[in-house]
């Protein structure tokens, strides 16, 4: 499916969405929308989508994975704009553009407007459960924040009953060693996190004439960052082949990369405390992975603190910590079964 959206008067995108349909179409079935993270596209979610439709065939109707602007099948990021004008505009696409594009896409998918081919959705998509992985998890938070600032919420606008965060990037208000210690002692930390060298390696050595400066993770770095533990001592037993990797990776515009870990700005993106408080109507379910490269090995402390911040209380019963060698950052692709407990909570 393709959805025509606008995140800004000067930025009009055509957004691709992959749809997996339960052909049994259970009455009152739940629709799930998934958003991928840094350097990934919607096909990252295929193993999770197939598991959902197999294990929860009596509950799930549609699974829709949305490509962010310029990701996956969104090869032509700017509709109506000559290719010669993409480079500067694409490199300036930021997390706020991602947020606005997702809100616009959800609006149109829900109402089956500007969706091609629209007949796949019938009367439209029900945005019952929204999930995000890594940077996509931060985008989910930013969507809720934007709606709250406008006097709405995901529940009020879409009827969303659950939001799922898989190894989600925290906002400024929640601790994240990977970014907070990017400058070592100058950040108040005894040693720098690997964030600067990691993101420096993620950039093309040159600048694409088509897309301008952007993050483009090399294969060897992709495996190191997303399928190994931070100390290099643990590697997932399941990693993508070169062909599979080519299907799930995507470029990132320069500004989105800088925003993600605040390499230029003093602070990361902000999300208010209690954004997903129980009174907001959307149940928050968080998934942490024991050997996630991007989080400190401290028993899921950072993920628990994020959950605490977003709920605005100390209840962490909906935080699921996946353990073992398969519990790496990209486990939603390589080991989707590790999220079964979280899905049981979200689909209750």
Paired tokens of 286: 């968080």
Task: Write the pLDDT tens digit of every residue in 221-266.
Answer: 888 889 988 766 777 888 899 899 988 988 888 888 889 988 877 7
The DSSP secondary-structure symbol of 98 reads H
β partners of residue 328: none
The region of weakest confidence among 52-61, 115-124, 137-146, 286-295 is 115-124
* Domain spanning 2-346: CATH superfamily: Alpha/Beta hydrolase fold, catalytic domain (3.40.50.1820)
N-term to C-term CA, the chain:
28
Residue with tokens 């911040």: 309
Distance of CA 295 to the CA centre of its chain: 16
pTM score: 0.94
- Return the percentage of the chain with pLDDT > 70, whole number: 89
Contact 33, 161 (CB under 8 A): no
pLDDT at 203: 64
Q: Which residue has the higher pLDDT, 231 or 310?
A: 310
Rounded to whole angstroms, the Cα distance separating 5 from 15 reads 7
DSSP letter, residue 29:
P
Is the pLDDT at 282 greater than 90? The verdict is yes
More confident residue, 247 or 287: 287
- pLDDT at residue 124 in the model: 82
Q: Which of 45-49, 262-266, 308-312, 316-320 has the lowest mean pLDDT?
A: 262-266
Greater confidence (207 vs 65) lies with 65
- pLDDT band for position 276 (50/70/90)? very high
The CA distance from 145 to 127, in Å, is 17
Domain edges within the chain: 2-346
Q: How far is residue 221's CA from residue 25's CA, in Å, rounded to a whole number? A: 41
Which candidate, 41, 102, 100, places its Cα nearest to that of 72?
Answer: 41
How many of the other CB atoms lie within 10 Å of CB of 274? 15
**Per-residue pLDDT at 336:** 97
Within the chain, residue ranges assigned H as helices are: 46-55, 86-91, 95-111, 135-149, 154-158, 177-180, 195-201, 219-226, 242-248, 254-261, 301-311, 331-334, 340-346
Q: What pLDDT, in 10s, does the model give residues 191-221?
A: 888 887 777 776 655 567 777 777 777 788 8
């Amino acid at each position: 499916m393709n959805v025509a959206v606008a995140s800004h008067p000067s930025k009009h995108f055509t957004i691709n969405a992959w749809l997996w349909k339960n052909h049994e179409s259970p009455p009152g079935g739940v629709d799930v929308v998934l958003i991928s993270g840094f350097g990934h596209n919607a096909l990252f979610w295929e193993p999770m989508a197939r598991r959902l439709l197999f294990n929860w065939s009596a509950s799930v109707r549609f699974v829709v994975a949305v490509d962010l602007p310029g990701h996956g099948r969104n090869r032509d990021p700017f509709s109506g704009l000559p290719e010669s004008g993409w480079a500067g505009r694409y490199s300036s696409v930021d997390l706020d553009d991602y947020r606005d594009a997702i809100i616009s896409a959800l609006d149109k998918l829900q109402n089956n407007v500007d969706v091609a081919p629209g007949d796949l959705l019938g009367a439209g998509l029900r945005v019952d459960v929204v999930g995000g992985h890594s940077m996509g998890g931060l985008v989910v938070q930013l969507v809720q924040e934007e709606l709250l600032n406008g006097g709405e919420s995901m529940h009020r606008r879409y009827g969303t009953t659950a939001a799922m965060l898989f190894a989600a990037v925290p906002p400024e208000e929640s601790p994240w060693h990977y970014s907070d210690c990017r400058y070592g002692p100058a950040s108040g930390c005894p040693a720098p996190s690997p964030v600067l060298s990691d993101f420096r390696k993620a950039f093309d050595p040159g600048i694409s004439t088509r897309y301008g400066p952007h993050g483009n993770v090399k294969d060897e770095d992709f495996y190191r960052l997303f399928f190994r533990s931070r100390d290099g001592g643990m590697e997932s037993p399941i990693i993508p082949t070169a062909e599979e990797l080519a299907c799930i990776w995507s470029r990132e515009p320069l500004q989105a990369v800088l925003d993600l870990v605040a390499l230029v700005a003093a602070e990361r993106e902000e999300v208010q405390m209690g954004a997903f408080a129980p009174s907001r109507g959307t149940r928050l379910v968080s998934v942490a992975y024991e050997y996630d490269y991007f989080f400190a090995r401290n028993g899921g402390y950072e993920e628990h603190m994020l959950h605490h911040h977003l709920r605005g209380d100390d209840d962490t019963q909906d935080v699921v910590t996946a353990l073992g060698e398969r519990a790496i950052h990209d486990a939603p692709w390589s080991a989707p079964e590790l999220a079964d407990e979280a899905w049981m909570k979200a689909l209750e």
